[in-house]
Structure 1
Amino acid sequence: MVSQTSYRHSRGFTFIEMLLATAIFALVGLASVAVLSTVTRTDELSRESSQRLTQLQHAMLMLERDFMQISLRHVRINGEAPQKNRLIGEKFLLDSEDHGVSFSRQGWRNPGMILPRSEIQTVAYRLQEGTLQRLFTLYPDAVTGTEPKMQPLLTGLTGFEVHYLQGEEWLERWQDGNFPQAVRITLLDQYAGKLERIFMLPDGAVADGARN
């Protein structure tokens, strides 16, 4: 016959003990889910930040390449006759929502002149619908009415500013036969904030004999 002492030692968990165990397991599970969710979100934010940085670097690289290879060729706007200016920049140029700038650049690769185009390219930058756009034409002397090709470089911008160094003063507008000493690009990014880059132009002034 089993004694009362042996019966007490062999009984199972009480209802309260089961509730406590269930509650502990539930808390551990919730904590694990929270940690996993945080790690996943952190990884997503890291990938987004890395992708955003890559886009910013690509946009700045395009700007740098274009400005470093700026050409003495006169600028044409919308296929009009060549203007005396080699660089044109002001607010709302080319329907930009902020600043716009246009000039010609050299070094558009065409090995052996295989392609039916020049190695000089007319380029422009503008901001539309929060996107920094690079405009270019296949021919530097495009006819009137020719629509430029559009290359979106960077989205999520709230501003695109271009200023031009003359002496010790940064100008907001440039229309001159000479080049400024430098160009300052300011991007207002809704994620990264205010980003600035200054490009020293290879030739800050054009000789008088080259103006015609």
Structure 2
Amino acid sequence: MNNKGFTFLEMLLAMVLFAMVGLASVAVLSSVTKSDEASQVAMHRLQQLQRAMLMLERDFMQISARYVRIEGDPPQQERLWGEQYLLESEDHGVSFTQQGWRNPGMILPRSEVQAVAYRLQEGQLQRLFTLYVDAVNNTDPQQQVLLEGVEAFEITYLSNDKWEERWQHEYLPQAVKIRIVQQDLGELERIFVLPNGMWRGDAS
């Protein structure tokens, strides 16, 4: 019986084939891993954007006719204050009060009306709020980072079928248009129509 083993050349060829299969497997695994990581990042950005839009919609839909205070100063004669660079924003900023801050049975030592503001700082869309609606001077607001990687945050206000870039009136606009440019997701625009009867000068 003739027992013939593998030659050196055959073993070398087998090793080369195994190495090529291993490298191909590593490349496929690396590609799948990178794709998964990119998908996770994109999903996180999308979830952030959805939360930010829901927060904006909730606040504007529950907007109050109460006069606003800017950085603890005495109440303005405006129910909504919006302009570029407001509250040290790097783009547009807006401040108003909303009446949806639930406090069942008034258990907590605060009102159900909340002063809120939005601004862009360091690429972050930030929501500012104070624990007390009439916060005094030198009271630092709480900050919520709603969205990162933001390149532009623009707000315009609808009044008598005309869009205005700033708002400093004693009544509320008919609608608010938000334009956000985000690095990964591009440009998004939303219009929030304010509750009926809230935008004319008879609101009190």
Which of residues 32, 49, 62 is equivalent to 1:56?
A: 49
**Paired residues of 2:68 and 2:76 also in contact (CA < 8 A):** yes
Distance (Å, rounded) in 1 between the aligned partners of 2:19 and 2:137: 72
**Deviation larger for 182-191 or 161-170:** 161-170
- Distance in 2, Cα, partners of 1:169 & 1:37: 53
1:20 and 2:13 correspond: yes
> How far did residue 157 of structure 1 move?
1.0
Structure 1 residue runs of 4+, over 3 Å off? none
Distance in 2, Cα, partners of 1:102 & 1:70: 10
- Which position in structure 2 is the counterpart of 1:67? 60
TM-score by length of 2: 0.93
Partner SS, residue 141 of structure 1: coil
Instruction: State the shift of 1:205 in Å.
Output: 2.2
The answer (yes or no) to whether the contact 2:170–2:201 under 8 Å persists in 1 is no
Tell me how far 1:98 sits from its aligned partner.
0.6
The root-mean-square deviation of aligned C-alpha atoms, in Å, is 1.6
Q: Which residue of 2 aligns with 1:35?
A: 28
Supply the distance in 2 between the matched residues of 1:44 and 1:131 (Cα, whole angstroms).
22
Q: Which string of whole-angstrom CA distances, capped at 9 and with x for unpartnered residues, describes residues 17-72 of structure 1?
A: 22222211111111111111111122222222222211111111111110000000
Q: Secondary structure at the match of 1:144?
A: coil
Question: Aligned equivalents of 2:161 and 2:201: distance in 1?
Answer: 21
Aligned mate of 1:127, from 120, 136, 139: 120
- The residue number in structure 2 matching 1:3 is none
Q: Encode CA deviations 1:160-204: one digit per residue, 9 max, x unaligned.
A: 111112233322111111211111111111111111111111135
Structure 2: any 5+ residue segments left out of the alignment? none
Is the partner of 1:32 in helix, strand or coil?
helix
CA shift at 1:207, angstroms? 4.1
**Rg: which structure is higher?**
1
Name which of 158, 167, 191 aligns with 2:151.
158
Task: Select between 19-28 and 122-131 the one with higher mean Cα deviation.
Answer: 19-28
Shift of 1:95: 0.3
State percent identity of aligned pairs: 64
User: What is the total number of aligned residue pairs between the two structures?
Assistant: 203
Aligned to 1:206: 200
Structure 2 counterpart of 1:205, which letter?
W
Deviation string, structure 1 residues 73-94 (Cα, Å, up to 9, x no partner): 0111112121111111111000
Q: Secondary structure at the match of 1:198?
A: strand
In structure 2, what is the equivalent of residue 83 of structure 1?
A: 76
CA displacement at 1:15 relative to structure 2:
2.9
